């Protein structure tokens, strides 16, 4: 991805030199044509066209904002309930991610999901220990954590 | 008319942010143990402070026509660091042996750690 982006910048500068106009507008136009050229030659690169990854990152960010708001509503619900009927607990969640930064991102996302908080990571980076504020309704949402977050992160790193 | 809409949006952000921070404080008093308190604090204050900062950013942008990029940086830093500090506080509490609340149902971390110790001693 970094190589394709660098090539795109290089093509944008090339465009500026060809036009002999060194303005931000010329850079943007050159960047756009560079993007088109990279898209035409996408099969020559070992990894996929880098805009896919940019879109995946934006999707992950929107997911993050959505989960942050949902988790706040969840906390608000527990805090303002007159009777405290929570059932906290720590459960283990096996993960498939391998790289360190992916696991860090997943841990952070889980910390900001409704009712869950990452407490520890096993030494071999295969299991996340998650503290849940209400273990009954979290057990079901484990699947959704696995499907949405892990998939979204894999989409970025693929 | 447009002025009033702007004021309403900015006010909404700041008031909701303030209320969320208040709710986090109430949660810190009401919840039974460190871990559940950590839940309330690390989530509600993250969004609360972020919303107050977004409200400030919008106020200066809409009424003073001044885009303060430091506020954007502050929002990014808070969103990145708050969950990590929440995780580290929980982890430090667990490792130094802070007890979970009475009503806690399961503790699979303790189970797995015991298993690991047995495997090491064999």
For A29-65, what is each residue's pLDDT tens digit? 999 999 999 999 888 888 888 888 889 889 888 988 8
A56 and A34 within one domain: no
Same structural domain for residues A37 and A63?
A: no
Do A38 and A95 lie in one domain? The reply is no
Is the pLDDT confidence value at A7 over 80? Answer: yes
A2 CB within 8 Å of a chain B CB: no
Q: Is the pLDDT of residue B54 over 90?
A: yes
Q: Are residues A100 and A36 in the same domain?
A: no
Share the mean pLDDT of chain B. 84
For A82, the domain range is: 51-157
Of A66-75, A113-122, B112-121, the one with minimum mean pLDDT is B112-121
pLDDT for position A92 = 80
Pick from B27, B31, B39 the residue to mutate for testing the A interface (most A CBs within 10 Å): B39
- To the nearest whole Å, the CA of A46 is away from the closest chain B CA by 31
Residue A65 sits in the same domain as residue A126: yes
Q: pTM of this prediction?
A: 0.79
Residue A145, CA distances (Å) to A112, A115, A151, B30, B81 in order: 11, 12, 9, 28, 21
Beta-carbon separation of B108 and A129 below 8 A: yes
User: Across residues B101-117, what is the average pLDDT?
Assistant: 69
The whole-angstrom distance between B104's CA and the closest CA on chain A is: 5
- Residue A32 and residue A61 share a domain: no
- Nearest CB partner across the interface for B86, out of A115, A117, A135: A117
Q: Residues B23, A75: contact at Cβ < 8 Å? A: yes
Mean pLDDT on B16-28 = 89
Residue B121 has pLDDT above 70, yes or no: no
Q: A83 and A145 in one domain?
A: yes
Q: Which of the residue ranges A93-97, B7-11, B53-57 would you say has the lowest mean pLDDT?
A: A93-97
Every domain of chain B and the residues it spans? 2-115
Consecutive H or E run containing A89: strand A89-94
d(CA A109, CA B99): 25
Predicted local confidence at residue B103, as pLDDT: 64
The per-residue pLDDT for B42 is 85
Measure the CA–CA gap between B103 and B100, rounded to whole angstroms.
8
So what's the ipTM on this one?
Answer: 0.74
Question: What is the count of structural domains for chain A?
Answer: 2
What is the structure's pLDDT at B104?
A: 64
CA A119 from chain center: how many Å? 20
Gap between the Cα atoms of A25 and B36, Å rounded: 52
């Amino acid at each position: 991805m970094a190589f394709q982006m660098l090539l795109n910048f290089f093509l944008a500068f090339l465009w500026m030199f060809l036009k002999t106009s060194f303005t931000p507008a010329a850079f943007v136009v050159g960047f756009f044509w560079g993007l088109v050229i990279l898209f035409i030659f996408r099969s020559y690169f070992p990894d996929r066209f880098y805009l896919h990854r940019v879109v995946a990152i934006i999707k992950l960010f929107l997911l993050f904002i959505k989960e942050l708001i949902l988790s706040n509503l969840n906390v608000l619900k527990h805090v303002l309930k007159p009777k405290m009927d929570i059932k906290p607990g720590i459960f283990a969640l096996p993960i498939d991610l391998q790289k360190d930064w992916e696991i860090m991102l997943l841990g952070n996302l889980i910390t900001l999901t409704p009712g869950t908080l990452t407490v520890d990571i096993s030494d071999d980076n295969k299991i996340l220990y998650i503290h849940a504020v209400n273990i009954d309704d979290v057990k079901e949402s484990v699947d959704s954590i696995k499907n949405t977050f892990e998939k979204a992160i894999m989409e970025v790193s693929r | 008319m447009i002025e009033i809409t702007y004021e309403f949006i900015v006010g909404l952000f700041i008031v909701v942010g303030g209320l969320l921070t208040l709710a986090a404080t109430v949660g810190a008093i009401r919840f039974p143990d460190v871990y559940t308190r950590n839940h309330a604090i690390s989530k509600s204050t993250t969004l609360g402070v972020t919303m107050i900062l977004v409200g400030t950013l919008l106020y200066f942008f809409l009424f003073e026509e001044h885009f303060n990029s430091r506020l954007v940086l502050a929002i990014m830093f808070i969103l990145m660091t708050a969950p990590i500090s929440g995780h580290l506080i929980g982890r430090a509490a667990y490792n130094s042996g802070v007890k979970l609340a009475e009503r806690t149902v399961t503790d699979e971390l303790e189970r797995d750690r015991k298993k690991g110790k047995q495997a090491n001693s064999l």
